[in-house]
């Protein structure tokens, strides 16, 4: 169990970032879609506050992950066709972009709607833009469409990982698994 | 003779009461009645557009001074669509049942350099004593009167039930009145 990446697998820090963020992003995405099920406005206020807090946490984790990525060299690509390696890197780049853009668009929406932004009731963050209620619906649509775009990219990402694991029986997924060992 | 002292003292204290305090008319265009609270760690402020105040005040004859303020609660505005929709509702002011708030003084006190006013506030069907700070500055034929203080919203059942959570909506609400007065 190495903290850092090695040639065969992702280090435990990279794996931690990957899975904790996967959990938070998918969980918060589903949570966001279920907002309208809240019983009464106060529960919705509390649910939204939690959704925002988790989203901000994802953003903070993303920044730390990016920093770690600069410090810790990624393992070399698993053997495979060049186009697949390029496609995988393209998908990863897109995922990184969306992981930052979705919380930021939520923050932007919150700002133009003129709502406070508090992290788990502990501290407040400033607005990213001036209040502008006319813009709120549009920015909310951006936030939501970015999420659906993420879902589409995730289908490719997860699909490819499973294809490697089930059909190619290679190390692509195993080297990222939390407790698995790479195949010899 | 000694027995007369209390009577004389009482007479001495009562004498200023015989002097009527000056009556003033509120200049509505330049006077404001506002409030400020905290929601999710962020302060917000609002004001009442419709209210009336009967003001008799004399700094030298506090005992003869009197404020009587009636507030039309439906006129509360805070600049946030959701909040301004919620405020008149049953969970907060419940204006269908309690359209007005009423404050009437019961006495003024000098506390060092500061004048304090005690009074009864009726809000949301609940009457409770409150104490506010008074700053009165004669200005030409009239005066500028500033009154401020802090209320506990739950003392008056404003925002009860689900909304009683003071970690979301703070317990304290500041009230500030700035009155431009013209002598009657």
How far is it, in rounded angstroms, from Cα A40 to Cα A126?
A: 27
CB contact under 8 A, A45 and B167: no
Task: Give Cα B38 to chain centroid, integer Å.
Answer: 19
CA atoms within 13 A on the CB side of B101: 23
Predicted pLDDT of residue B109:
95
pTM of model > 0.95 = no
User: Which residues in chain B have Cβ-Cβ distances shorter than 8 Å to A114?
Assistant: 79-80
β-pair partners for B174: B36, B150
Distances in whole angstroms, Cα of residue B71 to Cα of each of A159, B65, B87, B148, B180: 63, 20, 14, 15, 17
Among B36, B41, B77, B84, the strongest candidate for a mutation testing the A interface, having the largest count of A CBs within 10 A, is B41
The token pair at A88 is 């995988």
CB contact under 8 A, B40 and A124: yes
Q: Which CATH number fits domain B20-183: 1.40.20.10, 2.40.128.110, 1.20.120.1750, 2.60.40.1180?
A: 2.40.128.110
Assess A137–B contact: CB distance below 8 Å, yes or no.
no
Superfamily per CATH, domain A12-176? Transmembrane di-heme cytochromes, Chain C (1.20.950.20)
Distance from C-alpha of A21 to C-alpha of A70, rounded to nearest angstrom: 18
Q: Confirm or reject contact between A178 and chain B (CB < 8 A).
A: no
Q: Please, which pLDDT band fits residue A8 given cuts at 50, 70 and 90?
A: confident
Listed in sequence order, the residues at least 6 apart from A96 whose beta carbon sits closer than 8 Å to its beta carbon are A62, A66
**Residue B131, number of CB atoms within 10 A of its CB:** 13
Q: Around Cβ B128, how many Cβ atoms within 10 Å?
A: 13
Residues B9, B132: Cα–Cα separation, whole Å = 28
What confidence tier does B184 reach under pLDDT thresholds 50, 70, 90?
confident
- For B34, the token pair is 């506002």
pLDDT digits (tens, 9 = 90+) for B119-164: 999 999 999 999 999 999 999 989 999 999 999 999 999 999 899 9
CB contact under 8 A, A43 and B162: yes
Please say if the pLDDT value at position A180 is more than 80.
no
Chain B CB within 8 Å of residue A120 CB: no
């Amino acid at each position: 169990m190495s903290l850092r990446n090695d040639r065969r697998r992702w280090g435990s820090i990279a794996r931690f970032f990957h899975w904790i963020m996967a959990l938070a992003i998918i969980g918060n995405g589903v949570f966001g879609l279920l907002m309208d099920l809240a019983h009464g406005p106060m529960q919705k206020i509390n649910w939204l506050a939690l959704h925002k807090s988790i989203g901000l946490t994802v953003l903070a984790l993303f920044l730390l992950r990016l920093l770690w990525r600069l410090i810790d060299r990624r393992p070399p690509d698993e053997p495979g066709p060049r186009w697949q390696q390029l496609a995988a890197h393209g998908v990863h780049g897109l995922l990184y972009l969306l992981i930052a853009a979705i919380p930021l668009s939520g923050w932007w929406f919150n700002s133009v709607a003129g709502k406070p932004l508090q992290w788990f009731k502990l501290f407040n963050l400033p607005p990213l833009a001036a209040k502008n209620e006319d813009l709120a619906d549009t920015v909310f649509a951006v936030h939501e469409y970015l999420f659906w775009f993420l879902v589409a990219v995730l289908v490719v990402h997860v699909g490819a990982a499973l294809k490697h694991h089930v059909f190619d029986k290679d190390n692509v997924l195993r080297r990222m698994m939390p407790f698995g060992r790479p195949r010899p | 003779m000694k027995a007369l002292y209390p009577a004389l003292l009482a007479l001495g204290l009562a004498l200023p009461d015989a002097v009527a305090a000056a009556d003033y008319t509120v200049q509505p265009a330049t006077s404001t009645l506002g409030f400020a609270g905290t929601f999710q760690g962020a302060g917000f402020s609002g004001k009442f557009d419709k209210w009336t105040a009967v003001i008799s005040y004399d700094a030298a004859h506090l005992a003869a001074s009197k404020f009587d303020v009636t507030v039309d609660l439906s006129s509360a505005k805070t600049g946030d669509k959701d909040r301004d929709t919620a405020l008149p509702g049953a969970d907060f002011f419940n204006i269908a049942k309690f359209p007005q708030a009423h404050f009437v003084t019961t006495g003024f006190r000098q506390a060092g350099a500061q004048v304090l006013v005690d009074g009864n506030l009726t809000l949301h069907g609940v009457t409770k004593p409150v104490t506010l700070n008074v700053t009165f500055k004669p200005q030409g034929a009239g005066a500028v009167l500033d009154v401020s203080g802090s209320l506990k919203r739950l003392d008056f059942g404003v925002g009860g039930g689900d909304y009683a959570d003071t970690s979301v909506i703070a317990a304290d609400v500041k009230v500030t009145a700035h009155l431009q007065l013209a002598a009657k």
